[in-house]
Amino acid sequence: MADKKDVPKHDVIVVGAGPAALTAAIYTTREDIETLLLERGVVGGLAAVTDKIDNYPGFPDGVEGLTLSDQLRKQAERFGAVIDLGEVLAIHDEGEFKRLETTEGDMLARAVLIATGSDYKKIGVPGEQEFYARGVHYCATCDGAFYRDKKLVVVGGGNSAVQEAIFLTRYASHIDMLVRSTVKASDVLQGELQKFIDDGKVTVHLGTTTNEIVGQDNAVTKVVGIDQASGKKVEFPTDGVFVFVGLMPNSQFLKGSPIDLDKIGFIKTDEDLHTTMPGVFAAGDIRSGATMQIASAAGEGATAALKIREYLEGHL
Amino acid sequence: MVKNITIFTTNTCGYCQMVKKYLGAKGMTYDEVNLDEHPHRQAEALNLSGAMTVPVTVVTMQDDSQEVIVGYNLARLAPAVA
């Protein structure tokens, strides 16, 4: 471990650079609180790889996820936020400072905001891992272009699944949506999807589980599921599968730390968004009880920034 | 020593932006093949990477050896262009 005096010190380190993180940074840096964001993936988080966001306030015609992320980044950087690429491996409480072990070396911060968000869940069926990125995908905006005039299966029935299925219609010749129970997407998204169903471009299979992804010669050829009403096996010939079945928390780096997680792995906080480690806060999708909405994440980012300011004022 | 860098991208890919941003921050130039604009080059990206995804970054060294990096993978991209 490096001597403390050699380790870079920051007022606030924000772990992640999605909407919660960037909003928090806008608030802290406007208050002249020096703030470093550490991002291991894409600035903007899941929002940046979402085709279109229709429910973020202030954009009457919707906004591309990449555009919103870029605008948030520019706004945070305008006030002095610094975004570095790097991954946090562990957080240790050393009193006045928290020590963060990162891929770029150790760093110290008076306060930390964890805003690492979440990633799409796997379904955990045979073939999913084997054909990953060669027929099984979790990012429509990244990989959809490989399926021009091809048949696709989309697994899931929530907002993300419907939104991404709609995006994929610009490439695919036909999409079978496999929905384990019922479609739970918003009415607006369902209305939009209906247009593609009416055009014969999308077929929704309700009450259908996804049990196996089958392929040969390095390519996916079909998805095997069960029609729960009849109990019968059903097969969907396809060239690729896109999976959107919910989110899992990006909290692996906190396993074994004194920061309490719920049973799924989301971070527990109090009403001030304070975790069980003093001086460490959490906001956005990573927080237990979060609503998984970009607008909520931004709101929590603002709240966390104000609570961090209070915390820092009490610990100077 | 890097001779040239080619990145296969699409218009909507957030991870592609991150690769371009990383190389831009390092002052490195690169050629971009946008598969939305040049769909006939998809097979080339697939053959190079073995994956139906972007970004695919191809780093060609002075001795013409190549490193192919799939996705936004800093652990491989950073040393490849160092």
Domain stop point among A243, A278, A295: A243
Q: Is A84 within a domain?
A: yes
Domain span at residue A224 reads 136-243
Q: How many domains would you assign to chain B? A: 1
Domain span at residue B37 reads 2-81
Own/partner pairs, A51-60, CB within 8 angstroms, 24+ separation: A51/A140, A51/A141, A51/A163, A51/A164, A51/A166, A51/A167, A51/B12, A52/A163, A52/A167, A53/A294, A54/A188, A54/A189, A55/A186, A55/A293, A55/A294, A55/A295, A56/A294, A56/A295, A56/A298, A57/A295
In the predicted structure, residue A3 carries a pLDDT above the cut 80:
no
Domain stop point among A243, A258, A282: A243
Residue A55 and residue A146 in one domain: no
Closest A-chain CA to B78: A85
| pLDDT reported for residue B18 | 86
| pLDDT reported for residue A119 | 87
pTM for this one? 0.79
Question: What ipTM, to 2 d.p.?
Answer: 0.81
Residue A228 and residue A297 in one domain: no
Q: Which residue is associated with the tokens 């796997």?
A: A122
Nearest to B74 among A69, A85, A142 (CB): A85
Distance from the Cα of A137 to chain B's closest Cα (Å) equals 8
Average confidence (pLDDT) over A144-160:
95
CATH number of the domain residue B39 falls in: 3.40.30.10
Q: What confidence category does residue A237 fall into, taking pLDDT thresholds of 50, 70 and 90?
A: very high
Residue A113 and residue A217 in one domain: no
Residue A110 and residue A46 in one domain: yes
Distance in angstroms (rounded) separating the CA atoms of residues A170 and B50: 24
Say which residues have a Cβ less than 8 Å from residue A193's Cβ, sequence separation at least 6.
A162, A165, A166, A183, A185, A202, A204
Three-class SS state of A176: strand
Tell me whether residues B14 and A66 touch, CB distance under 8 A: yes
CATH number of the domain residue A36 falls in: 3.50.50.60
Q: What is the pLDDT of residues A95-150, one digit of tens each?
A: 999 999 998 899 999 999 999 999 889 999 999 999 998 999 999 988 999 999 99
| pLDDT reported for residue A221 | 97
Q: How many domains would you assign to chain A? A: 2
The number of C-alpha atoms within 13 Å of B16 and in the hemisphere containing its C-beta is: 25
Q: Is A127 within a domain?
A: no
A82 touches chain B (CB under 8 A): no
